[in-house]
Structure 1
Amino acid sequence: MARIYRVAVVGCGHRGREHAAGIQAESRCQIVALSDVNEQAAESLNRDLGLNAKVYRDHHDMLKQEAPDIVVTSLWTPLHLPVFRDSAQAGVKAVISEKPMAPTWGECLEIANIAQETNCQLTFCHQRRFAKGNQLARKLISEGVFGEIQRMELYSPPNLLDCGTHTIDQALSFVDETPVKWVLGAVDASEPLNWFGVSAEGMAAGTLVFENGIRAHIQVGGPDMDIWGGVRVHGSKGFFAVDWDGKCLEARVYDDPAWQLPVLAEGVDNHMVGVVGDAVDALEAGIEPELSYKKALRASEVIFAFYESVRRHARVALPLQGVTDNPFVTMLENHRF
């Protein structure tokens, strides 16, 4: 008989609901607790999904009373580190967290250290890796359909930390997780944003170069974007473009004008089912999950290196050294724009 994992959801807003639906679709999981400082949000989620879970206002009480196997956190970015720390110290086996990792590079590194030291499996919700179109794109790249990948164009709505992380992660998945070698960036801070408790730019643009020589231009927010969010990949034998969710926007194979992208099976493309299922599979097999914090850390490093490039007015090589803050926020607070 398969083990049933006791799951607690911390943060019961819009994304918390999507996570909960993904958990409900996983037969090996049962939601036993909901926690939110807004108790009405938790009660509403409990009622709407018929969960019959126990509701808490304080996640500390929930961890102590329920001792869940898995915790799903759907919280504002500054809360990711403290709630993960509390969960790992309470003996939780796995945490599925919303992206991005944290507001600063130092906090990202601290999260990674906690995960390594406690052996608590940690994933971040770059859920678009499970989109059928993105999976197909990775398959075609690995089969050499588009030849050797030479360059990419990355697009995302604002801002780099909260939204751009999806596009950077998407690009990393297309180049088989090859690390970025250096970053050169610029931002438009004329009208700063505040997303989930973190200040951010309205537009960013720059260049990334991967260790294998692939170059990428990135634009996050602003006018005149070819793609609202997604990636265009240019190879020696062809090119393709997909949106965030893997929907094909265009594709060509140069020596075969009749070539067409394979037709995907119809049906709902529920990324959250993949997020939860992969986390449970990895937990049971003792392997690294697809959405491992190690991959999120790599994407986060690119983002903070990008901001550091703005601060230094210079190209920044990776691995990122001498940075623990969020350079954009520091510059904004010090009236450097």
Structure 2
Amino acid sequence: MIKSSVYRVAFIGCGKRAHEHAIGVQVDSRCEVVGLSDISTASAETLNAEFGFQAKIYTDHKEMLAKEKPDVVLICLWTPLHLPVFRDCTEAGVKAVLCEKPMSATWGDCQDMGRIAEETGCQLTFSLQRRFAKGNQTVRRLIKEGKIGQVLRMDLYSPPNLLDCGIHTFDQAISYMDETAAKWVLGAVDTTEIYNWFNVPSECGASGQIIFANGVQANLYSGSIDTWEPTQDMAKIWAGVRVIGTDGFIEVMWDGQIVRGVNYEDPSWKPEMELSSMSDQMKGYVRHAIDCLETGEEPEVSHKKALRASEIIFAVYESVRRNARVELPLTGVTDSPFITMLENGQFTK
């Protein structure tokens, strides 16, 4: 645990997402940005100027790690680079890494990131910043208070690409159930089109069923609302969760916007509407990560929690490969079943 009240901070990757992370770093007086690394010097210079960091600029992140010796690093790179760059950070003695989501392109790499974090003691978090949205915090409280009774079922909605977008929906659902892990998964993917997000190929839609360890059943809908032919309700929560309990239900968008809440015994009840911007969420994410670095507590968006959501994604893909439901924990899988099937021509029209 670091005892100092000021932490040397560095960015690896200075594009759009780095700017969003920088909002949180800029307002935390415990963060002193000492280095920015990007293959584009212009991108690093823009980030430096926009936020007034006065940091040294590098095109080689390893050189920056060696010379600046940061305590905290923010990795804002494309997905396949997360594991190797995180490894470089731990080898350089970095104490905390705030990494862009998703974890990695394969289940094996995701597990390796978790293993390295555990072995080195480096605090690894992922930018599942929507956990810090006020609305999502309110929903978690209402569920714990029993406002909708015992949770029975959830409908999970996500834009296309389970790996990059679905992780937010799965993480949101898991957080509503006090971090309960999935028990088994049955899934299907739509390969009418193949997308490429941050150098990782993906499906254009997916559906499935997830049974959680507490018995809650979740139905998954992923894809463009233009292809769903959605009902009005589906269109309202195209990215988020409907939580259905014995005494009512709540419909929530990703960012905590409560679309509707119903209590069967009290028709007049309406849940509080508490909205927060992406900037507010990123400020909460960075502040909490630094707090946990000081206290040693598990962060709200720790690698352990990111692994639970990621496991569901790769289990959906593995279910497609096996043509069967997949029991969790997911074992015997280190690749991305989707990418393997794609490369093997299984989705050829």
Taking structure 1 as the reference length, what is the TM-score of the superposition? 0.98
Report the secondary structure of 2:11's partner residue.
Answer: strand
- 1:27-75 deviation per Cα after TM superposition (whole angstroms, max 9, x unaligned): 1111111110111100111112111111110100000000000000010
**Count of residue correspondences:** 337
Report the secondary structure of 1:63's partner residue.
Answer: helix
TM-aligned CA deviation for residue 21 of structure 1 = 1.2
Partner of 1:327: 337
Worse-matched range after superposition: 27-36 or 127-136: 27-36
Seen in structure 2, the aligned counterparts of structure 1 residues 12 and 266 have a Cα distance that, compared at 3 Å, is closer
Partner of 1:84: 86
Which whole-Å CA distance do the structure 2 matches of 1:170 and 1:104 have between them? 21
The match for 1:273 among 283, 296, 300 is 283
Q: Provide the identity percentage.
A: 57
Q: For 1:219-238, what aligned pairs fall within 5 Å after superposition?
A: 219-222=221-224, 223-224=227-228, 225=230, 226=234, 227-238=237-248
Partner of 1:188: 190
Q: For 1:167-178, what aligned pairs fall within 5 Å after superposition?
A: 167-178=169-180
TM-aligned CA deviation for residue 263 of structure 1 = 4.2
Partner of 1:157: 159
The match for 2:206 among 204, 212, 229 is 204
Partner of 2:328: 318
1:132 maps to amino acid: K
Report the secondary structure of 1:92's partner residue.
Answer: coil
Which whole-Å CA distance do the structure 2 matches of 1:27 and 1:231 have between them? 35
Seen in structure 2, the aligned counterparts of structure 1 residues 82 and 179 have a Cα distance that, compared at 3 Å, is same
- 1:117-164 deviation per Cα after TM superposition (whole angstroms, max 9, x unaligned): 100000011000000000000000011111000000000111000000
Which whole-Å CA distance do the structure 1 matches of 2:114 and 2:259 have between them? 36
The match for 2:40 among 25, 38, 44 is 38
2:159 maps to amino acid: P
- In the alignment, does 2:266 pair up with 1:256? yes
Report the secondary structure of 1:101's partner residue.
Answer: coil
Partner of 1:282: 292
- 1:75-103 deviation per Cα after TM superposition (whole angstroms, max 9, x unaligned): 00000000100001100000000000000
Which whole-Å CA distance do the structure 2 matches of 1:316 and 1:208 have between them? 10
Partner of 2:95: 93
Which whole-Å CA distance do the structure 1 matches of 2:209 and 2:152 have between them? 14
1:330 maps to amino acid: T
- 1:288-327 deviation per Cα after TM superposition (whole angstroms, max 9, x unaligned): 1111000001111111011000000000000001100000
- 1:205-262 deviation per Cα after TM superposition (whole angstroms, max 9, x unaligned): 0000001110000111142351220000101111010100000111111000111112
Partner of 2:23: 21
The match for 1:239 among 243, 249, 253 is 249
Which whole-Å CA distance do the structure 2 matches of 1:266 and 1:318 have between them? 34
Report the secondary structure of 2:261's partner residue.
Answer: strand
Partner of 1:303: 313
The match for 2:301 among 274, 277, 291 is 291
Seen in structure 2, the aligned counterparts of structure 1 residues 174 and 267 have a Cα distance that, compared at 3 Å, is closer
Instruction: Please tell me whether the aligned partners of residues 131 and 269 of structure 1 are also in contact (alpha carbons under 8 angstroms).
Output: no
TM-aligned CA deviation for residue 268 of structure 1 = 8.0
Partner of 2:107: 105
Instruction: Please tell me whether the aligned partners of residues 132 and 269 of structure 1 are also in contact (alpha carbons under 8 angstroms).
Output: no
Report the secondary structure of 2:62's partner residue.
Answer: helix
TM-aligned CA deviation for residue 2 of structure 1 = 6.6
Which whole-Å CA distance do the structure 2 matches of 1:183 and 1:251 have between them? 28
Seen in structure 2, the aligned counterparts of structure 1 residues 119 and 245 have a Cα distance that, compared at 3 Å, is same
Instruction: Please tell me whether the aligned partners of residues 250 and 262 of structure 2 are also in contact (alpha carbons under 8 angstroms).
Output: yes
2:307 maps to amino acid: L
Give unpaired runs (5+ residues) of structure 2.
Answer: none
Report the secondary structure of 1:270's partner residue.
Answer: helix
Which whole-Å CA distance do the structure 2 matches of 1:77 and 1:184 have between them? 25
Instruction: Please tell me whether the aligned partners of residues 22 and 272 of structure 1 are also in contact (alpha carbons under 8 angstroms).
Output: yes
| Structure 1 residue ranges, 4+ long, deviating more than 6 angstroms after superposition | 265-269
Partner of 2:147: 145
Instruction: Please tell me whether the aligned partners of residues 257 and 273 of structure 2 are also in contact (alpha carbons under 8 angstroms).
Output: no
Seen in structure 2, the aligned counterparts of structure 1 residues 265 and 245 have a Cα distance that, compared at 3 Å, is closer
Which whole-Å CA distance do the structure 1 matches of 2:143 and 2:272 have between them? 13
1:80 maps to amino acid: H
Instruction: Please tell me whether the aligned partners of residues 135 and 276 of structure 2 are also in contact (alpha carbons under 8 angstroms).
Output: no
